[in-house]
Structure 1
């Protein structure tokens, strides 16, 4: 049958990429091809609508996957009280989690209070460490020593001390714990600080090289050193880019190990859903983001995956939020069967192209970072931090203009969403190389200010939609204006089929607000907007905005809002007009 299909296909003329582009240009009806259909990543990699070829080059080296457990499900715990941490750990293990990650902190502010090894013993009471590996997520050298004290009677145990790459003491742990991972290269902190995919992989490469050099220099065999290093990468809701990033990271890490004479060993990749995409507002939208990120991590070949609870930006998770997080992974494994294929993206022109571009750029940046002083210079110096800041600024600009979206935050906000319960405290570690940020935070600050205003004034800040024409004519822009203002917690009123400017101005006066937004068609704007703006100001409007791009010849308009206008600038102005204070 397949031969019949091939024979049928031979009857059609061959089509080139140029032929497809010509047809696409016709469908665009004069719109610019690149501006309309091509997106660019933070690293300048073009993502077109169609890829016509796959690049040549070696595929990532994947270790064989266990049919029963294709990747380890690792959940993080940082409850201050060791007894509470223990109860949650046991619940996770009973619910399907296969590995445990501990956040340790001497005073319990950012993790389990661990003044001595006894607290770790209490947290791990009842845990069979021979089948449930324990890893230190944060806690530094002190935390590693405490875990070593707990494990000293079980030297063959598996797990990880989570030491940073530049830790000379790591070699001592290798001697006493032959199966433990010694060092964790926390490259996800680059991404969560706002950095790009290339920067994250390059920093991972620096950390891996630093770890290998340090261990080998202190007498650890190269192959044991390679098995003793784990890398942590962020998994984002951008599915295709995350898949390509993990594949590229595996290529780069294999190349580094090869430079140390190690072949046949694959650096374990621990993918953690990105903190920077998490939101406090409408946190159930986080469920969509972490599911997409978890899918991408699995399809990208992660050896270990941690899915953050949906409440990660609010505080520590409730048992329900923790259960949802672990169940997502079980669904990905046992219902979606993502672990049945070793490299599902192999052969895809899109993923192969992105993988190659990311790997090549990351290797080039890695070489630059090495020439600038390597891992420690990247962490302690200014040069790499400036690169991260530039990437972060690019993302922030894109979120402000709407080119990048966080559903529920800068797009389609829900003003009346139900609050979600979270426990006091922090759900992130405290010793990452770079400070994490959340892109939702500036927008959420406006929502906070609006709610504070509501409690004081008894009502939400509101704007009046001064609409022109029929519902069919003004509805699209009125809906846009409503969503645009809701990003900052501002409600709208009006939006009726007014008989004329006088009737609209009268309705505005009755609304009790100070801000009016004119909504209608371009033709209606040309014919009526100037007169309506004057009538609205006569009725007491402090400011009159117009929903649409600037149009010459229209007077009385104080601001134009549109799909690409700066949302934060617009909201700052709206709050000032409406008397909302931060």
Structure 2
């Protein structure tokens, strides 16, 4: 094949900038074309190889493919089993099970294709005996399982340990020490995203979060990759860079502990920007967010149904969310090229800048006593609140636009009679040992006001 570019002279970054200045006809270059993100990153109008002193380094642990996951909540075991088997037949490549209490594992996994379908768990209870039963079954079936136990994640979400500090650590220690080759530990970062933390904060808190576990366990007891659950927002290129930066940061931290530098990432769309009104727009939002997750290098992606805020889990919503991923994979060729973002000047620059800023914040947290100490003192919660309030103000002022909610609204849209679920922050007074990190959507107040007027 001939080189199509050999007949064209290369253009330096300086020459591009001179041309832009000329076209601006006196307008200020910085004020007109450079904008600052919430993360404090100045985004330039163009990126050029002259901006980089060294060649780009590969992202550690980038997967060559990604799995489509379906989430299933276990209430009735027989129903959960039917939903899982049906989802796999319809294109799901992994199943994420969540449960609030122990269940009959043989009913849930009846006729389950263990060897072909990875299993993920998100359990809101902690039981050594129950996890032992799961381990025994899955060992017999040669299954790939991610147990995703996150004591600190439960603490940040609920404000309490599962049992208490001593009991939780006793249980997790036994589970990890007995099963050093199993994927036990997980870091759930979705709460940081959904509560309004900036991308830099999400990365730094994820790193500080996992560092608490790495400090606790010896390298001999952590032989499998740590799993991260990541919420993906709507800032398309920044979210691609966020996942890449997470892999870089974790690899740097893991190398200090002499453990595997590869992590396993599960991605799901954020709830922060999802809406009740004009709810079909949620499909557009989740599609681009899943695209960011693919290009960023997530191992597994679980989409959020367009009606998840206000409808109970239903066949139509789940099928549409799964089909969005199938279209990306089978018809849009998002699985044809791995590491598609590699070498793109803009994304590579964003990846490095986000990683550098997050590493700086991580070091500040460690100097302040570590992540748990900062949680106990309420410093992490306060920083997230401050960030969330700034973003909320941008939304209130119309600078952050949510189509159909505060931009191009349809005054005839009605939702009051279509709410199966309560879609706003629920207040449940209880005693907690720390202030929990509260997830809150940007449009909640707007929607409550509109509902009152229907």
Q: How does 1:96-245 map to 2 (within 5 A)?
A: 96-105=91-100, 114=101, 116-118=102-104, 120-142=105-127, 145-155=129-139, 156-164=142-150, 168=169, 169-177=171-179, 179-216=181-218, 221=220, 225-245=222-242
2:64 aligned with 1:81, yes or no? no
- Structure-2 change in CA distance of 1:145 and 1:320 (3 Å): farther
SS of the residue corresponding to residue 269 of structure 1 reads strand
- Structure-2 change in CA distance of 1:418 and 1:83 (3 Å): farther
Q: Partners in 1 of 2:103 and 2:85 — Cα distance? A: 19
Q: How does 1:133-532 map to 2 (within 5 A)?
A: 133-142=118-127, 145-155=129-139, 156-164=142-150, 168=169, 169-177=171-179, 179-216=181-218, 221=220, 225-263=222-260, 265-417=261-413, 423-424=420-421, 434-451=437-454
SS of the residue corresponding to residue 80 of structure 1 reads coil
SS of the residue corresponding to residue 350 of structure 1 reads helix
Bigger CA radius of gyration: 1
Q: Are the equivalent residues in 1 in contact too, given 2:180–2:220 (CA < 8 A)? A: no
Point out the more displaced range, 230-239 or 165-174: 165-174
Cα shift at 1:75:
2.1
Q: Partners in 1 of 2:226 and 2:378 — Cα distance? A: 26
Cα shift at 1:380:
3.2
* Higher RCO, 1 vs 2 (CA within 8 Å, ≥6 residues apart): 2
SS of the residue corresponding to residue 280 of structure 1 reads coil
SS of the residue corresponding to residue 342 of structure 2 reads coil
Q: Partners in 2 of 1:21 and 1:450 — Cα distance? A: 52
Q: Partners in 1 of 2:375 and 2:317 — Cα distance? A: 33
Cα shift at 1:117:
3.6
- Structure-2 change in CA distance of 1:181 and 1:433 (3 Å): farther
Q: Are the equivalent residues in 1 in contact too, given 2:180–2:224 (CA < 8 A)? A: no
Number of residue pairs aligned between Structure 1 and Structure 2:
426
Q: Are the equivalent residues in 1 in contact too, given 2:74–2:97 (CA < 8 A)? A: no
Q: CA RMSD in A?
A: 2.9
- Structure-2 change in CA distance of 1:415 and 1:81 (3 Å): farther
User: C-alpha offsets along residues 203-252 of structure 1, whole Å, 9 cap, x if unaligned?
Assistant: 11112222223231xxx615xx1515201111122210111001100100
- Structure-2 change in CA distance of 1:87 and 1:4 (3 Å): closer
User: What is residue 155 of structure 2 aligned with on the other side?
Assistant: none
User: C-alpha offsets along residues 299-329 of structure 1, whole Å, 9 cap, x if unaligned?
Assistant: 1110111111111221323211101111111
Q: Please give the TM-score of this superposition, normalised by the length of structure 2.
A: 0.85
- Structure-2 change in CA distance of 1:131 and 1:296 (3 Å): same
2:74 aligned with 1:60, yes or no? no
User: C-alpha offsets along residues 138-160 of structure 1, whole Å, 9 cap, x if unaligned?
Assistant: 41313x65343244243253212
Q: Please give the TM-score of this superposition, normalised by the length of structure 1.
A: 0.67
SS of the residue corresponding to residue 140 of structure 1 reads coil
Unaligned 5+ residue runs, structure 1? 106-113, 452-582
Q: 1:71 aligns with which of 66, 71, 76?
A: 66
User: C-alpha offsets along residues 166-197 of structure 1, whole Å, 9 cap, x if unaligned?
Assistant: 55333432355455311110112111110011
